[in-house]
Amino acid sequence: TFIVTDACVKCKLTDCVIVCPVDCFYEGENFLAINPDECIDCGVCVPECPIDAIKPDTEDTPDGKWLAINTEYSAKWPRITKKKPHAPDWELYKDQTGKFEAYFS
Ligand code: SF4
Ligand code: F3S
């Protein structure tokens, strides 16, 4: 499966959602999650993200942190299929790391 990772937090550009053939992106306030059970591993969303936030789960942390986060939150959040305008301040956050811990609520 593919997973959304830390780079997406507070950027949430949503370019990824329009290309997914199975509509498996889910939207929280600051972040999107992929439902790993619905993702068909097509990979087409990966180049759509301007900040490379989407990775194969083979690039997850050794403890599977991002797979767990995507699994948990995709089950709680509503599906998103339409792109939204970029937040005016997204570039402030694009090079930060540890955003999930710093900003996620
Ligand atoms: Fe959707 Fe394909 Fe991306 Fe999975 S890899 S989230 S199926 S676009
Ligand atoms: Fe996030 Fe990139 Fe999609 S920032 S919402 S994974 S286009």
In a domain, 94, yes or no: no
In a domain, 51, yes or no: yes
Report pTM. Answer: 0.97
- Of all protein residues, the one whose alpha carbon is nearest to atom 7 of ligand 2 is 49
- Of all protein residues, the one whose alpha carbon is nearest to atom 6 of ligand 1 is 39
Average pLDDT over residues 8-19: 98
In a domain, 11, yes or no: yes
Q: What angle do CA 8, 84, 92 make, to 5 degrees?
A: 45
- The DSSP code sequence of 17-65 is GGG-TT--EEE-SS-EEE-TTT-----TTGGG-TT--EEEGGGS-TT-H
Residues with CB under 6 Å of ligand 2 are 4, 8, 11-16, 32, 48-49, 51, 53-54
pLDDT single digits (tens) 14-62: 999 999 999 999 999 999 999 999 999 999 999 999 999 999 999 999 9
19 Cα nearest atom in ligand 1 = 8
Look up the domain containing 62 and give its range: 2-82
Domain containing 51 — which CATH number? 3.30.70.20
In a domain, 70, yes or no: yes
pLDDT bracket for residue 104 (50, 70, 90): confident
Number of domains in the chain: 1
In a domain, 96, yes or no: no
pLDDT bracket for residue 105 (50, 70, 90): low
- What is the value of ipTM here, to two decimals? 0.97
Taking CA atoms, 60 is separated from 5, 57, 83, 92, in Å, by 8, 5, 26, 24
In a domain, 98, yes or no: no
- Of all protein residues, the one whose alpha carbon is nearest to atom 1 of ligand 1 is 20
